[in-house]
Amino acid sequence: MLKKILNKKNYRTIILHLVLISLSLITLMPILFALSISFQPRAQVFSYPPSFLPDQLYFGNFIKAWQVIKLGRIFINSIIASVIVMLGKLILGVLSGYAFSHFKFKYKKLLFFMVLFTLMLPMQVRVVPLFELMSRLGLANSYSGLVLPFLASATTTFLMRQHFLTIPSALMESAQIDGCGPIRFLLQILLPLSGANLAGLAVVNFLVMWNAYLWPLVIINSDEMKLAQQGVKMLFASAAERDWGLIMAGTILIVIPTLIVFLLAQKFFIKGIATQGLKE
């Protein structure tokens, strides 16, 4: 009897694993096929039938892709932009979240509503006038123009406020009696208690900027200033006849930082997504 139950359970486990493995392979199929072709030399890429595995590991496509769209430059640009946006959002988010969590002031509700309301204003409904505004300010095709609209965000403010609210106000009052001012309280008591939240928001905000496309596409024109996602489009434009080995090698190089950041911090990332309502 016991043996029978065990067997039935094993049977179910094996079937489940098989189903999940095949579904995983289907889900990863675009990435796996792209990986395979990126290691194939030109002759193999254009042979019919297409090969599912490269004959040998050929790295020429990666080298060519790196050179053709100057990927080194693009990566540096994207890292700079993403780090600035990440830091900006964290700093402004901490400051504004702190204001909403630990202070009483006039128009607090109205201001908080104003922050949250910006969730309804995604980049896509602002892109046209924002571009005109930046042009008039002389910031078109500049990194200031690129990062400025991303520096503050409702989600970071909101999540920092939620976190700070879990730290009781009584702590602030007793700190104040001990002569600790509000800024010192923030720097020495609140922030050290916020490491995990800051790390999670840092990861999500970095990836949001690394993956951003529409605004960089509109505001940045010169090739030497372009960002990672524009690189994908440059890959397609670079080859008159589509050299899939090169295009996929470039695409994979562009997605590697995303995957590394995601896999290192997937816990934070998933938590960040799950607590974050709308994306910007």
Partner 1 sequence: MEEQNYRSKKVIPYLLLTPTMLILILFLYWPSLQSIYLSFYQQAPFGRKKIFIGLNNYFSLFQNSNYLISIFRSTIFTLITIVLGLFLALILAILLNQDLKGIKFYRVIFFIPYAISATVAGSLWVFILNPVAGQVNYLLDLLFNLQIAWLTNSFFAFLAVIMATIWKNIGFNIIFFLAGLQSIPESIYESARIDGANSLTIFRHITVPLLSPTTFYLVIMNIIFSVFESFGIIDIMTQGGPANSTNILIYKLYREMFINFRPGSAAAQTVVLLILVIIVTILHFKYGNNKVHYQ
Residues numbered 166-185 forming contacts with partner 1, rule: CB under 8 A: 182-183
Least separation in angstroms between residue 77's CB and partner 1 is 15
Q: Among 79, 213, 238, 239, which residue interacts with partner 1 (rule: CB under 8 A)? A: 213
The one-letter code for the residue type at 123 is M
Q: Among 68, 119, 189, 239, which residue interacts with partner 1 (rule: CB under 8 A)? A: 119
Residue 187 found at the interface with partner 1 (CB under 8 A) = no
Residue 211 found at the interface with partner 1 (CB under 8 A) = yes
Residue 278 found at the interface with partner 1 (CB under 8 A) = yes
**Of 55-63, 117-125, 161-169, 190-198: span binding partner 1 (CB under 8 A):** 117-125
Among residues 93 and 200, whose Cβ is nearest to partner 1? 93
Residue count of the chain? 280
Q: Among 3, 105, 192, 224, which residue interacts with partner 1 (rule: CB under 8 A)? A: 105
Residues 14-43 that bind partner 1 (CB under 8 A): 16-17, 19-20, 23-24, 27-31, 33-34, 37
Residue keyed to tokens 């960089």: 216
Residue 78 found at the interface with partner 1 (CB under 8 A) = no
Q: Among 41, 54, 60, 149, which residue interacts with partner 1 (rule: CB under 8 A)? A: 149
- What are the angstrom distances between the C-alpha of 192 and each of 160, 163, 206, 232, 241? 13, 12, 21, 39, 55
Residue 273 found at the interface with partner 1 (CB under 8 A) = yes
Among residues 152 and 225, whose Cβ is nearest to partner 1? 152
Q: Among 68, 111, 198, 239, which residue interacts with partner 1 (rule: CB under 8 A)? A: 111
Burial of 98 (0-12, 13-18, 19+ CB in 10 A): buried
Residue 278 has a CB neighbour count (10 Å cut-off) of 11
Among residues 70 and 126, whose Cβ is nearest to partner 1? 126
Least separation in angstroms between residue 115's CB and partner 1 is 7
Calpha distance 168→83 (Å, rounded)? 31
Residue 244 found at the interface with partner 1 (CB under 8 A) = yes
Among residues 99 and 191, whose Cβ is nearest to partner 1? 99
Torsion of Cα atoms, 264 then 58 then 237 then 241, to 10°: -150
The one-letter code for the residue type at 149 is P
Residue 144 found at the interface with partner 1 (CB under 8 A) = no
Calpha distance 135→86 (Å, rounded)? 24
**Of 61-69, 161-169, 193-201, 261-269: span binding partner 1 (CB under 8 A):** 261-269
Residue 239 found at the interface with partner 1 (CB under 8 A) = no
Residues 53-72 that bind partner 1 (CB under 8 A): none
